[in-house]
Amino acid sequence: MEKCPCKSQKEYLDCCAPFLDRQQNAPTAIALMRSRYTAHVKADIDYIIETVHPEHREASDRKAIESWAKNAVWKGLEIIKTKKGLEGDEIGWVVFSAHYTYNNSVKVHTENSLFKKKEGKWYFVEGRDAEIAVGKPAKIGRNDACYCGSGKKFKKCCAKK
């Protein structure tokens, strides 16, 4: 079975697949965040755009989203902090870091994302982000955990790239 790309440690079919397959709506802001990350990994551009709040969807640049999703090598998602965003809430924030490589450079995209419910469905509204290029740590050992957050040993992960 395939582990979910969002790094929840769940199987994909039991995590983000029902949302990306449009069988269910994400019940919380964090579930929507995880599914949007997974949509980037799987290059499901329609899902990414569909989950932007309708009042902000017009500003979505489909070509830019598609280019980023398809040309990045996604390494993992790290949820840093959440505020509200539960099933009974109408608003929520998720601070996360998405680890990836782009043009042979290791990068981390860190964002504080705002989510709102409209008619009972969660949507991404906006994110305040900072993209930080990071180099491979100078003193990482082959048997150390990989810096990308995959949970694998460095020699089995980013050392091979």
Question: What are the boundaries of each domain within the chain?
Answer: 12-160
Instruction: Determine contact, residues 117/89, Cβ cutoff 8 Å.
Output: yes
Model pLDDT for residues 32-45, shown as the tens digit of each residue: 999 999 999 999 99
Give the residue-averaged pLDDT of 117-127. Answer: 95
Residue 103 or residue 27, greater confidence: 27
Res 129 pLDDT > 90: no
Which residues, in sequence order, are CB contacts of 41 under 8 Å at separation 6+? Answer: 5, 69, 74
pLDDT of the residue at 156: 73
Q: Report pLDDT digits (tens) over 130-157.
A: 444 444 444 456 666 655 555 666 567 6
Instruction: Check residue 134 and give its pLDDT.
Output: 44
Report CA dihedral (82, 86, 92, 95) to the nearest 10 degrees: 20
Confidence category of residue 66, pLDDT binned at 50, 70, 90: very high
Q: What is the pLDDT of residue 138?
A: 40
Q: How far apart are the first and last CA of the chain?
A: 24
Q: Which residue has the higher pLDDT, 141 or 123?
A: 123
Residue 94 bridge partners (DSSP): 82, 113
Q: Within 10 Å of residue 58's Cβ, how many Cβ atoms?
A: 7
Ramachandran assignment for 84, one of left (phi > 0), alpha (psi -120 to 50 degrees), beta (any other): left
52-61 long-range contacts (CB < 8 A, ≥24 apart) are: 52/123, 52/124, 52/125, 53/116, 53/118, 53/123, 53/124, 53/125, 54/118, 54/123, 56/125, 56/126
- Give per-residue pLDDT as tens, 46-61: 999 999 999 999 988 9
Burial class (CB in 10 A: 0-12, 13-18, 19+), 23: exposed
CB atoms within 10 A of CB 96: 23
pLDDT computed for residue 159 by the predictor: 58
Using a cut of 0.85, tell me whether the model's pTM lies above it.
Answer: no
pLDDT of the residue at 150 = 56
User: What is the CATH number that goes with domain 12-160?
Assistant: 3.10.450.50
Which pLDDT value is given to residue 22? 98
The overall average pLDDT reported for the chain is: 86
